[in-house]
């Protein structure tokens, strides 16, 4: 019974995220995680930045401690809930905690706002500055000198890549945690795995870069994120065509997306961007500025159209459709396993 309640809390948290998003009056777990990562990272860079070995092993300590604390907090709340026979307060903490791990409303709202600003407003210098500021909040590249076309592409690439990190990755690991809890309450559960994945994703977004000190400091964070996002990104690859009009081209779309996605250094980002690009008919990749360095990413779907507001809105619809499909699949798997045990 407790596992069913936990699963219902999970479904409720998804609905809460879609309707409300992250309540502004609550401190988001990512803010706490980010504060911890930044303080230790800044200390290592400012005081021991020239010692590559210390940065390398210091990065491992940052990764293990951040993930370990996130996992432990989640597990503590789970045990409190399960051992107290569905205590309301613990259940509420799990509900809010799971909702904070999923970023559907926040991600879609921020990107759609950018698309609508570009479509509706006259593009003068003041409006362009506002748009650049909003794009800069969701991307790691430098968009200070970007054209409108590049701002649209940057927003689309962030949306397609972060849909895995912010939505489908957490959903996958949370569901795995629910299944684990059916076997033992002492196994990793939905909140402990959800918090852990959020910590892994935050580590990668803050220090998992391949320039300057971060090559060494963020090495382990980037590799851990690659490992834990590997399965979710490929599940997105094989399920996204099912919620599109191109389901009849299923095999060829997956093949082309996989081949284009493999060109990226990241084993996951390219694949998630590629499947959205092929289904929405856009091209991604090209030159982008990171710090003072101009990096050219491989082209994805080179014959596709340029990104625009309508394409961004269509991708947002695809994300919502795919999330619905995943929920249906999760419900079916959960009740099949429940009947077998």
* pLDDT of amino acid 261: 94
pLDDT at 293 over 80: no
> What is the pLDDT confidence band of residue 125, given thresholds at 50, 70 and 90?
confident
Query: What pLDDT was estimated at residue 142?
Result: 84
Position with higher pLDDT, 15 vs 339 = 15
Tens digits of residue pLDDT in 77-95: 999 998 887 788 999 999 9
| Mean pLDDT along residues 278-287 | 93
Residue 291 confidence (pLDDT) above 80? no
pTM of the entire predicted model: 0.94
Name the strand (E) or helix (H) holding 293. strand 293-300
Tell the residue number behind the tokens 């033992």, with chain if given: 184
pLDDT above 70 covers what percent of the chain?
A: 99
What is the chain's length?
Answer: 341
Query: What is the pLDDT averaged over residues 97-107?
Result: 95
Contacts (Cβ under 8 Å, ≥6 apart) of 326? 168, 171, 239
What's the pLDDT score for residue 122? Answer: 67
H/E stretch holding 286:
strand 284-290
Give, as one character, the DSSP assignment of residue 247.
G
What pLDDT score was predicted for residue 57? 95
Number of domains in the chain: 1
**212 or 261, greater pLDDT:** 261
**Residues sharing a CB contact under 8 Å with residue 14, sequence separation 6 or more, in sequence order:** 99, 102, 104, 171, 323, 327
**pLDDT single digits (tens) 186-200:** 999 999 999 999 999
Domain, as residue range, for 119:
2-340
Task: Give the pLDDT confidence of 214-250 residue by residue, as tens digits.
Answer: 899 999 999 999 999 999 999 999 999 999 999 999 9
Please work out, in degrees rounded to the nearest 5, the angle formed at the alpha carbon of residue 120 by the alpha carbons of 115 and 124.
Answer: 95
β-pair type (293-300, 284-290)? antiparallel
pLDDT(332) > 70: yes
Please identify which residue in the block is written with the tokens 């980002």.
Answer: 269
* Mean pLDDT (whole number) for 114-140: 83
Q: What is the number of other CB atoms lying within 10 angstroms of the CB of residue 50?
A: 9
> For tokens 């930044």, what's the residue?
38
């Amino acid at each position: 019974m407790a596992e069913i309640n936990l699963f219902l809390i999970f479904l409720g948290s998804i609905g809460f995220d879609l309707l409300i998003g992250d309540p502004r009056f609550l401190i988001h777990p990512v803010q706490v995680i980010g504060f911890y990562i930044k303080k230790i990272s800044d200390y290592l860079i400012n005081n021991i930045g020239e010692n590559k070995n210390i940065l390398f092993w210091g990065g491992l300590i940052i990764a293990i401690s951040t993930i370990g604390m996130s996992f432990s907090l989640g597990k503590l709340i789970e045990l409190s809930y399960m051992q107290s026979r569905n205590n309301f307060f613990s259940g509420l903490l799990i509900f809010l905690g799971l909702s904070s791990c999923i970023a559907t409303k926040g991600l879609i709202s921020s990107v759609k706002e950018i698309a609508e600003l570009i479509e509706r407003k006259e593009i003068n210098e003041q409006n362009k500055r506002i748009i650049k500021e909003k794009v800069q909040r969701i991307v790691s590249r430098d968009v200070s000198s970007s054209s409108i076309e590049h701002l649209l592409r940057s927003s689309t690439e962030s949306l397609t890549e972060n849909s895995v990190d912010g939505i489908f990755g957490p959903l996958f690991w949370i569901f795995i945690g629910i299944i684990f809890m059916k076997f033992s309450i002492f196994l990793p559960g939905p909140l402990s795995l959800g918090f852990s994945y959020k910590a892994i994703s935050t580590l990668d977004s803050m220090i998992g870069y391949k320039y300057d000190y971060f090559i060494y400091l963020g090495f382990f964070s980037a590799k851990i994120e690659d490992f834990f996002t590997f399965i979710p990104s490929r599940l997105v690859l094989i399920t996204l065509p099912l919620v599109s009009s191109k389901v009849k081209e299923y095999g060829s779309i997956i093949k082309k997306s996989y081949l284009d996605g493999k060109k990226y250094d990241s084993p996951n980002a390219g694949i998630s961007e590629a499947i959205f690009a092929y289904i929405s008919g856009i091209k991604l990749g090209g030159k982008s500025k990171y710090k003072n360095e101009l990096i050219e990413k491989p082209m994805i779907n080179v014959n596709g159209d340029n990104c625009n507001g309508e394409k961004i809105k269509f991708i947002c619809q695809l994300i919502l459709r795919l999330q619905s499909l995943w929920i249906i699949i999760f419900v079916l798997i959960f009740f099949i396993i429940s009947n077998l045990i």
